[in-house]
């Protein structure tokens, strides 16, 4: 007889800091901390989207998004985009983001002033049941990259959890 599955532990945010990104979907924008690269060749990311966000329906509708890394000086509006929904208002223009057409996406705009932008097309949703979690992880193909200043060499926007943010302080190169 096999043992019953162990119950899930309670959520604990002891894995922060995370590099905070700004995701655009169509003309809407939201900050996301729960993203990660998962493949180099082909180049792919996973981004987890909260089921309560308006952007979830947008993403299911248009199947594309752009993942931006904005510098520390842009933190205020990036973070404010996470405290308002684009369901009924044009959040991006209210916050003063300048949008321009993407290179490889049909309906999604990119935000000006980012250090780096990754244009993404949905490959698939990685869960299919509502009880698989409160966020829906999407697997994306990277279809175009805008290269600017590498965030790691400048002042990236780091999320420490709750309402706390920071940028990089010391740097150190490991020499094996």
Question: Which residue among 26, 49, 65, 116 contacts ligand FMN (CB under 6 A)?
Answer: 49
Written in H, E and C, the secondary structure of the chain is CCCCCCCCCCCCCCCCCEECEEEEECCEEEEECCEEEEECCCCEEEEEEECCCHHHHHHHHHCEEEEEECEHHHHHHHHHCCCCCCCCCCHHHHCCCCEEECCCCCCCEEECCCCEEEEEEEEEECCCCHHHCCEEEEEEEEEEEEECCCHHHCCECEEEECCEEECCCCCCCCCC
Which CB sits closer to ligand FMN, 162 or 172? Answer: 162
Is position 84 an interface residue for ligand FMN (rule: CB under 6 A)?
yes
Question: Of 31-39, 68-76, 99-107, 124-132, which part binds ligand FMN (CB under 6 A)?
Answer: 31-39
Cβ–Cβ < 8 Å for 119, 102: yes
Part in contact with ligand FMN (CB under 6 A); list of ranges 8-16, 29-37, 94-102, 120-128? 29-37
Q: How far is the CB of 6 from ligand FMN (least distance, A)?
A: 26
Whichever of 75 and 115 has its CB closer to ligand FMN, that residue is 75
Q: How many residues bind ligand FMN (CB under 6 A)?
A: 22
Pick from 26, 28, 45, 157: which binds ligand FMN (CB under 6 A)?
28
Residues that bind ligand FMN (CB under 6 A): 20, 28, 30-34, 48-50, 53-55, 79, 82, 84-87, 91, 135, 159
């Amino acid at each position: 007889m096999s043992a019953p599955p162990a119950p899930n532990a309670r959520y604990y945010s002891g894995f922060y800091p995370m590099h905070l990104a700004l995701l655009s979907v169509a003309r809407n924008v939201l900050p996301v901390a729960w993203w990660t690269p998962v493949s180099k060749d082909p180049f792919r990311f996973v981004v987890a989207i909260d089921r309560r966000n308006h952007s979830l329906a947008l993403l299911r509708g248009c199947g594309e998004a752009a993942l931006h890394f904005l510098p520390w000086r842009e933190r205020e509006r990036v973070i404010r985009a996470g405290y308002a929904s684009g369901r009924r208002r044009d959040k991006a223009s209210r916050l003063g983001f300048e949008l321009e057409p993407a290179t490889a996406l049909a309906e999604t705009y990119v935000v000006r002033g980012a250090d780096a932008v990754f244009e993404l097309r949905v490959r698939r949703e990685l869960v299919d049941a509502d009880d698989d979690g409160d966020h829906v992880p999407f697997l994306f193909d990277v279809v175009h990259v805008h290269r600017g200043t590498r965030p790691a060499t400048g002042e990236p926007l780091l999320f420490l959890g709750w309402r706390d943010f920071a940028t990089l302080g010391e740097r150190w190169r490991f020499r094996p």
